[in-house]
Homo-oligomer: A and B are copies of this chain.
Amino acid sequence: MTPPSTPDGEPSTAGSPLTDEPLFLMARASSLGSAAANKKLARLELKVRQYSVLALACSDPAPTQTEVSSFLVLDPSQVVGIVDGLEQRGAVERRPGAHDRRSKTIRATADGRRLFAEARSLLSESTADSLAALTAEEQDQLNELLRRITL
């Protein structure tokens, strides 16, 4: 199956704009969304990346750094810097792994959980804006579809 050609031999590209490419749409949505989110989180001096790690650090059981890095699709070396920042703020702490003393689990402190709660509420405003064009049902639908292709 080859694409139709114009009379002069050049392949036609009509009817195949970028706006039909899921990849492009997701990149754009992600880019615009995190820009807006970063702006919102700026007042807590948090970036989206740090928020993500903090969120994981709040979950139970607390994840190790490799778990964080694979979940967030980040290089392990990047996680180091992010955790450093959060740790210096007293939002998380590194604990030696329970069964493996090589690993370190990232656990949110009480302050960290308070920070997360604030950030989470700010972020929900931001995503509400981003998804304003959709009804609540459609937002759930979108979440479900995205969850199925990423998890």
Residues of A within 8 A of B (CB): 2-3, 9-11, 13-14, 16-35, 37, 48, 52, 55-56, 58-60, 71-73, 108, 110, 113-114, 116-117, 120-121, 123, 126-127, 130-131, 133-134, 138-139, 141-143, 145-151
Q: Is the CB of A150 within 8 A of B11?
A: no
Contact of A26 among B16, B18, B29, B110 (CB under 8 A): B29
Q: Is the CB of B3 within 8 A of A24?
A: no
Tell me, in angstroms, the Cα distance from A56 to B141 when the chains sit together. Answer: 30
Q: Is the CB of A20 within 8 A of B150?
A: no
With A3-B121, A143-B20 in contact, do A60 and B14 touch (Cβ < 8 Å)? yes
Q: Is the CB of A145 within 8 A of B151?
A: no
Q: Would you call the interface of chain A mostly helix, strand, loop, or mixed?
A: helix
Looking at A18, A20, A55, A60, the one whose CB has the most chain B CB atoms below 10 A away is A18
Contact of A3 among B52, B60, B110, B117 (CB under 8 A): B117
Residues of B within 8 A of A26 (CB): 26, 29-30, 33, 146
* Shortest distance between the CB of A36 and any CB in chain B (Å): 9
Q: Whose C-beta in chain B lies nearest to the C-beta of A27?
A: B30
With A11-B114, A13-B55, A32-B73 in contact, do A25 and B143 touch (Cβ < 8 Å)? yes
Q: A13-B58, A130-B149 are in contact. List 7 more A-B contacts (CB 8 A).
A: A13-B116, A17-B55, A21-B127, A23-B48, A24-B52, A27-B30, A27-B48
